[in-house]
Amino acid sequence: MKLTVNGDTLTLTGTTIADLVTQLELTGRRLAVEVNREIIPKSQHGEFTLNEGDVVEIVHAIGGG
Amino acid sequence: MSDLLTIAGKTYSSRLLIGTGKYKDFDETRDAIETSGAEIVTVAIRRTNIGQNADEPNLLDYITPDKYTILPNTAGCYTAEEAVRCCKLARELLDGHDLVKLEVLGDQKTLYPNIIHTVQAAKELIDDGFKVMVYTNDDPIVAKELEDMGCVAVMPLGSLIGSGLGILNPHNIRLIMEEANIPIIVDAGVGTASDAAIAMEMGCDGVLLNSAVAHARKPVLMASAMKKAIEAGRESFLAGRMPRKAYASASSPLDGLSR
């Protein structure tokens, strides 16, 4: 299915957020994920099913003041 | 001497809060922050780079949440809505950690706080259970309002973010402190160690800085200087300075001089 992830179009081969995280080689990283502007807690990434056209944001911590 | 800073019920022995932006690399970030002695460290929340190599280093592997109190900021947010969203993402990212640095900016030229949006965001965040340390201007009335709303620390600017111009209106900072019952932390504008010492001598509870260390020619050495300046300024405040006089007053006794 096609998703928008951090502003870019991406084709997901799996179905869940965990699948997406694996596909992006981000497994084990400290992340927060929003789907269509709603935060999906880490504990639900394994079962949360994404749908065609979903808008996903994945964020992390970077240097800042 | 026990002289601890308490923010939202947690105590800290360092009164220096430090940012993680603008360093050469994460090694320098870690070295500077370790040297500074800071216990509260700010970070920004941004989109993860998609398609980057998987072993790209991660800031929180260098500045770890078990060692430091991580203070996510809302830098780059220009509306209350953006800032609230950013704080919620930070809370999820940091496993429910609810201490945040709220800053809602007005424009890119000044990065001056937009107080209307700041107040609105602070209210929403406090209602949602966040502990809000709020970046604001040096207006004593606004500072008191933010305290009364339930912010856990008020952080007036010394001067514009990243300007290094020092504390341009110490009189206003003093007015803010006179009325405050929560920590007042000068945030932004500190350019060098004496600026930090001045803030602490005035009686501020702490100083938050980033560029002064990260943009120093030798950041780790400046981190050391800042640690000492904060400690010296704090001790000087607690010791109480001598009164200023218009004329000389001899330190050596006037009597008993051989004539």
- CATH (domain of A47): 3.10.20.30
Which has the closest alpha carbon to B8: B154, B186, B177, B178? B154
Tell me how far apart the alpha carbons of residues B129 and A46 are, in angstroms, rounded to a whole number: 27
- Pair B68, B41: CB distance under 8 Å: yes
Number of domains, chain A: 1
Task: Evaluate if residue B228 carries a pLDDT over 80.
Answer: yes
Q: What is the pLDDT of residue B102?
A: 98
Q: Is residue A65 part of a domain?
A: no
Residue B52: the pLDDT is 67
Q: What band does A28 get if pLDDT is binned at 50, 70 and 90?
A: confident
Whether B118 has its CB under 8 Å from any CB of chain A: the answer is: no
Nearest CA in chain A to B63: A63
A38–B contact, CB cutoff 8 A? no
Q: What is the mean pLDDT of residues B86-101?
A: 96
Express as a percent the part of chain B with pLDDT over 70.
98
Q: Please determine, for residue B5, whether its predicted confidence score (pLDDT) is greater than 70.
A: yes
**Residue B184: DSSP 8-state:** B
For residue A16, being part of any structural domain is answered with yes
Of the residues B88, B101, B109, B228, which is catalytic? B101
Structural domain contains residue A27: yes
Q: Confirm whether B109 is a catalytic residue.
A: no
pLDDT in the model for residue A50: 97
Q: A-chain residues within 8 Å CB-CB of B211?
A: 65
Shortest distance between the Cα of A10 and any Cα of chain B, in A, equals 10
Assign B93 a pLDDT band (cuts: 50, 70, 90). Answer: very high
Say what the pLDDT of residue B2 is. Answer: 83
Q: Quick check: B47 and A59 CB within 8 A?
A: yes
Residue A45 lies in a domain: yes
The CA distances from residue B118 to B71, B72, B77, B142, in Å, are 17, 16, 10, 10
Q: Encode pLDDT of B166-189 as tens digits.
A: 999 999 999 999 999 999 999 999
Do the Cβ atoms of A7 and B211 come within 8 Å? no
- For residue B1, what pLDDT is reported? 60
pLDDT over 80 at B53, yes or no: no
pLDDT tens string B113-147 = 999 999 999 999 999 999 999 999 999 999 999 99
H/E segment holding residue A32: strand A32-35
What percent of chain B has a predicted confidence (pLDDT) above 90?
Answer: 92
**pLDDT surpassing 70 at residue A22:** yes
Distance CA B175, CA B202 (A): 11
Q: Which range marks the domain in which residue A28 is found? A: 2-60
What is the pLDDT, as a whole number, of residue B174?
96
Q: Tell me which of B50 and A56 has the higher pLDDT.
A: A56
Residue A37 inside a domain? The answer is: yes
Q: Using CA atoms, how far apart are residues B234 and B24, in angstroms rounded to an integer?
A: 30
Confidence at residue B51, expressed as pLDDT on a 0 to 100 scale: 75
pLDDT at position B54 is 65
In whole angstroms, give the CA distance from residue B230 to residue B68: 18
Of the pLDDT bands very low, low, confident and very high (cuts 50, 70, 90), residue A58 is very high
pLDDT, chain A, mean:
95
pLDDT at B6 over 90: yes
